[in-house]
Amino acid sequence: MTNALAGSRVVLGVTGGIAAYKAVEVCRRLIIAGAHVAPVMTAGASRFIGETTLSALASEPVQSSLWDEDSPIPHTRLGQTADVIVVCPATARLLADYAAGRSNDLLTATLLATRAPVVICPAMHTEMWEHPAVQANLATLRSRGVHVVEPESGRLAGGDSGHGRLADPARIVAEVAAVLTAPDLAGLSVLVTAGGTREPIDPVRFIGNRSSGKQGHCLAAAAARRGATVTLVTTAPGSAPPGVAVVAVNTAAEMHIAVAAAALTADVVVMAAAVADFRPALVAGDKIKKSAGVPEIRLEPTVDILAELGRAKRHGQTLVGFAAETTDVAANAEAKLGAKQVDLLVANDVSAEAVGFEHETNAVVIYARDAAPVPVTLTSKAAVADAVLDAVAAHRLQSSGS
Ligand code: CTP
């Protein structure tokens, strides 16, 4: 389950639009993720980027002709061996040819000669994108199960701005991975919390922590990709992934209210947020002035949301806690697993290099009540998210059979 792209065969079709240069970045990212990339360029694409560029980065040389001497039937080889075909960018002409079933070059012939899923990434000027003929072709392709990575709004090649700019390469690669991923969490409702809470001292100051919310957001994105219906309660709603229901909160008390409501119907709750344990007992109505001297801020405890969920846990609900530790990681994690009555506890040593708060990477050990600890060595937060969800899936399978 972790990284569906690893070992997959991807045919990367590139057509003739200015965004063809971004296909190079898509290719690079697919290769880094472990995919085998077979690039196919149309004649139009060759006017925008050199074949050598893609050949150098991909797993095999670019093919662009149906009449390649070495292989009399390149389209059937490519189409039949592909796990997924990605067309990036897809011009209005490609959409028209594909919708009409034309096979006038190697790429369109390969698209007809496959049963693999197809992901198309349109890019064109706003006027073309909005033209009824283009939208009708897209509707036809969608009705046949073709995945469309919607273009974005932004600056276009002519210097003007509008809708039609190729989607971000990272998003394209994520959607390709999603297409390759089996929806093993389909039918489940997953609640994820993310970010660090902020406890106000006065109208301008707060007590906070260094959590960025990245790990929680990766968990929400991965759960959605794996078919779950996801609610994300987060203190960083601006960077929330698409396709999840977002509830924005600031304080531990707000998070408590949001989580208590959403947990009633959640099959899985993942508390990745760094929730403040204490908050100022009194919040000053006006800014505390320096001239008033060093303030004494009395703190009071917040509700331990996870422990409360543990006490109220329904049969069939899976509870996942996180533990950010700097010392005695294993002992503290085992203790929290029991004390908070959770099924899984994801522990990270946030004092280690490149681990936890604010980093793009993480290293964790997943402790379970009913299984041996699973170490996940330093990797991307997206990969950690998939490892945590793998543990959730395994736990649910085990408890449904026991
Ligand atoms: N947690 C929570 N509510 C709180 C504090 C923590 O739900 N008020 C959750 C966190 O989201 C996390 C888990 O409890 O999933 C453990 O959080 P952590 O800060 O590591 O542990 P604490 O219980 O706060 O204990 P300590 O600070 O002493 O390590």
Q: Residue 72 carries which side chain, given as an amino acid letter?
A: P
Tokens of 232: 């994300």
Element spanning 190, H or E? strand 189-194
Among residues 125, 173, 243, the alpha carbon closest in space to that of 27 is found at 173
Taking the CA of residue 276 as reference, the ligand 1 atom at the shortest distance is 8
Cβ–ligand 1 distance for 202 under 6 Å, the answer no
Q: pLDDT (tens digit, 0 to 9) for every residue of the chain, 402 residues total?
A: 557 899 999 999 999 999 999 999 999 999 999 999 999 999 999 999 999 999 999 999 999 998 876 777 888 889 999 999 999 999 999 999 999 999 999 999 999 999 999 999 999 999 999 999 999 999 999 989 899 999 998 888 878 888 899 999 999 999 999 899 878 999 999 999 999 999 999 999 999 999 999 999 999 999 998 999 999 999 999 888 878 999 999 999 999 999 999 999 999 999 999 999 999 999 999 999 999 999 999 999 999 999 999 999 999 999 999 999 999 999 999 999 999 999 999 999 988 888 878 788 899 999 998 789 999 999 889 889 999 999 999 999 998 875
Residue 209 is among the residues annotated as catalytic for this protein = yes
> Residue 31 class from Cβ within 10 Å (0-12 exposed, 13-18 middle, 19+ buried)?
middle
Taking the CA of residue 320 as reference, the ligand 1 atom at the shortest distance is 15
268, 309, 336: residue to mutate for ligand 1 pocket, most atoms within 8 A of CB:
336
pTM of the model: 0.73
Cβ–ligand 1 distance for 306 under 6 Å, the answer yes
Cβ–ligand 1 distance for 275 under 6 Å, the answer yes
If you ran DSSP here, which 8-state letter would residue 287 be given?
P
Taking the CA of residue 305 as reference, the ligand 1 atom at the shortest distance is 7
Cβ–ligand 1 distance for 344 under 6 Å, the answer no
If you ran DSSP here, which 8-state letter would residue 292 be given?
G
Cβ–ligand 1 distance for 302 under 6 Å, the answer yes
- What domains are defined for the chain? 9-180 (3.40.50.1950), 189-400 (3.40.50.10300)
